[in-house]
Amino acid sequence: MVPIPRVGPGAEFEPLRIGRTERVFVLTGAGVSAESGVRTFRDAGGAGFAGDGRRPQGGASIGLWYEHRIEDVATAKGFERDPRMVWRFYSERRRQLPSVKPNPAHQALARLAQEREVFLCTQNVDDLHERAGSPEVVHMHGELLRSRCHSCERPSFVDAAGYFEEPPRCRCGGLLRPHVVWFGEIPFHLERIFAALDKCDLFLCVGSSGAVHPAAGFVSHLRHTGRARCIYLGLERPDNAYAFDECRLGKAGELLPGLVDLR
């Protein structure tokens, strides 16, 4: 029988003891970026680029942002139908990103990686973890500041440019697209991610809704093995709260800096 998780305000919990030999897997979702001011697909009446979005149910076109439907700006079919509009959407996100700064949650995770063995996986496509100092970040949903070809096998490349008029083209003649995972596409680095999950002693999920798969299934995968402690931090109880040992509710930027005891 799976134990019932303890759920409550983060201030009611003791700091986590993390031994020097313990391996920590951290999954971050849109809630972390939202605390820096990044609009997300979970925003009321809005959608964004943090990457951890709830898919509209029953085919409904909810989650509008700047009068764009998710189906139009976050699917391959939408890109093929109107690449110019899609590039305008992501170009605006690129233009806004430099004004967004890492928050205390990003900084606390960067410090943790200096003291313990941390595998940091994010559903977010921004570069806030890198700017906070995290030495290695696995972007399972891609990166906003990279592009790749929609036609050929050319590897993705760094690209912070904005394309507000004509969509850019690859040297093969095909259209370039943002290097992000759209709905219906397979996330990146899954083999590496599951290898790290199977080795971890502590699974720390921060600001992820628990609604977007496969990331939402990581904690259930671990509970079946019984190896790792599974802790959630975020403003709201996630959809997969039942699978965690603890759900510590509150702002990640307030909870993470004092979360762990490294003695």
Asked whether residue 27 is assigned to any structural domain, the reply reads yes
Asked whether residue 77 is assigned to any structural domain, the reply reads yes
CA distance 52 to 13: 26
Q: From the candidates 129, 141, 150, 213, give the one annotated as an active-site residue.
A: 141
141: annotated active-site residue: yes
What are the C-alpha distances in Å from 176 to residues 80, 118, 139? 11, 33, 19
Work out the angle at residue 145's Cα, subtended by the Cα atoms of residues 170 and 105, and round it to the nearest 5 degrees: 160
Report the number of distinct structural domains present in the chain. 1
Could you tell me the CATH number of the domain that includes residue 187?
A: 3.40.50.1220
> Parallel, antiparallel, or unpaired: how do β-strands 176-180 and 142-149 relate?
antiparallel
Asked whether residue 2 is assigned to any structural domain, the reply reads no
- The tens digit of pLDDT for each residue in 77-96 reads 999 999 999 999 999 999 99
Does the pTM of the predicted model rise above 0.75? yes
- The tens digit of pLDDT for each residue in 214-256 reads 999 999 999 888 889 999 999 999 999 999 999 999 999 999 9
In terms of residue numbers, what domain contains 91?
7-261
